[in-house]
């Protein structure tokens, strides 16, 4: 069993929809949680960063961490075609620890 | 602006040849990482460094080596390229005292024939 599980998708939604992307993990020692966005043939770009449990909001994006359920989510409101990309979750035990990545969920937002 | 660059962006080489992929960052980050990305496997860590003269093996280090002679560069060497090393390679860096978030380069697409 992988330490981090992520549904590969693809997830296809109409423009304006609310998108929910999720990851589950098995290691209760993870404390730092990140979401990366990767456009085709580009490097991953850091989108959201959260320490421990709780919510964090940045514009149309909200990251949630539920450590009791070992579950993290990324919500995208008012999705746009420009949000079409692969979204990777990542997490680590400490700020000097290696990041463990999910395999990514491919999202397509159609006009 | 500070950035992280990789070169070459595309490389085709033959089995058995030695190949070096360059990674250069201007953020003055202590930590640098090399990953490969393959369909179905996501990002897998090859090697990483927490500072000059420090190198460590990741989960898929066989057939690869790195050296860190300064803060800005972490070249990745494939000692004898194999077809199984055909992949997209990403370099990343992070601050020593940061929150662990890593910043990625644009990638190198390597094909071994």
CB contact under 8 A, A96 and B90: no
What is the percent of chain B where pLDDT is above 90?
88
- pLDDT for A97 equals 76
The residue-averaged pLDDT of B7-34 equals 96
- Closest alpha carbon to B48 in B39, B36, B40: B36
Q: Which pLDDT tens digit goes with each residue over A48-59?
A: 999 888 899 999
Residues in B touching A88 (Cβ below 8 Å): 42-43
Residues from B contacting A (CB-CB < 8 Å) are 31, 33, 40-43, 45, 48, 50, 58, 90, 96-107, 109
- Rounded CA-CA distance B23/B47 in Å is 13
Average pLDDT, chain B: 94
Which residues neighbour A38 within 8 Å (Cβ) at sequence distance 6 or greater? A44, A45, A85, A86, A87, A88, A104
- Determine the pLDDT at residue A54: 84
Q: Which residue has the higher pLDDT, B22 or B99?
A: B22
Residue A17 CA to residue A88 CA, distance in Å, equals 20
Q: What is the pLDDT of residue B95?
A: 85
Question: Nearest by CB to B104, which of A43, A51, A92?
Answer: A43
Gap from A55 CA to chain B (nearest CA, Å): 17
Contact B43, A101 (CB under 8 A): yes
DSSP state of A2: -
The closest alpha carbon to A82, from A60, A44, A110, belongs to A110
Predicted pLDDT at A106: 95
What is the rounded distance in angstroms from the CA atom of residue A27 to the CA atom of residue A92? Answer: 9
d(CA B46, CA A90): 16
Residue B99 has pLDDT above 70, yes or no: no
pLDDT at B37: 96
Question: Per-residue pLDDT for chain A (111 aa), expressed as one digit of tens each?
Answer: 789 999 888 999 999 999 999 999 999 999 999 999 999 999 999 999 998 888 999 999 999 999 999 999 999 999 999 999 999 999 998 867 789 999 999 999 999
| Residue environment code for B39-70, b if the CB has 16+ CB neighbours within 10 A, otherwise e | eeebbbbbbbbeeeeebeebebbeebebebee
Q: How far is CA B106 from the centre of its chain?
A: 11
CB-based contact B20:B13 (threshold 8 Å) = no
Position B79 scores a pLDDT of 95
pLDDT at A94: 81
CA distance B46 to B64: 7
Mean pLDDT of B85-101: 88
**Average pLDDT over every residue of B73-102:** 92
């Amino acid at each position: 069993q992988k330490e981090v599980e992520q549904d590969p998708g693809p997830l296809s939604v109409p423009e304006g929809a609310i998108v929910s992307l999720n990851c589950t993990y098995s290691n209760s020692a993870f404390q730092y949680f990140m979401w990366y966005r990767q456009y085709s043939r580009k490097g991953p770009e850091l989108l959201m960063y959260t320490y421990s449990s709780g919510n964090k909001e940045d514009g149309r994006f909200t990251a949630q961490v539920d450590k009791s359920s070992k579950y993290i989510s990324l919500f995208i409101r008012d999705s746009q075609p420009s949000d079409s990309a692969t979204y990777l979750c990542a997490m680590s035990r400490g700020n000097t620890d290696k990041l463990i990545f999910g395999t990514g969920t491919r999202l397509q937002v159609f006009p | 602006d500070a950035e992280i660059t990789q070169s070459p962006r595309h490389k085709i080489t033959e089995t058995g040849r030695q190949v070096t992929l360059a990674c250069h960052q201007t953020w003055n980050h202590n930590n640098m990482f090399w990953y490969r990305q393959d369909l179905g496997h996501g990002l897998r860590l090859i090697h990483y460094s927490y500072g000059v003269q420090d190198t460590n093996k990741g989960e898929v280090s066989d057939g690869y080596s790195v050296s860190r002679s300064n803060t800005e560069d972490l070249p990745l060497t494939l000692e004898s390229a194999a077809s199984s090393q055909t992949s997209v390679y990403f370099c990343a860096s992070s601050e020593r005292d940061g929150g662990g978030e890593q910043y990625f380069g644009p990638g190198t697409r390597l094909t071994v024939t």
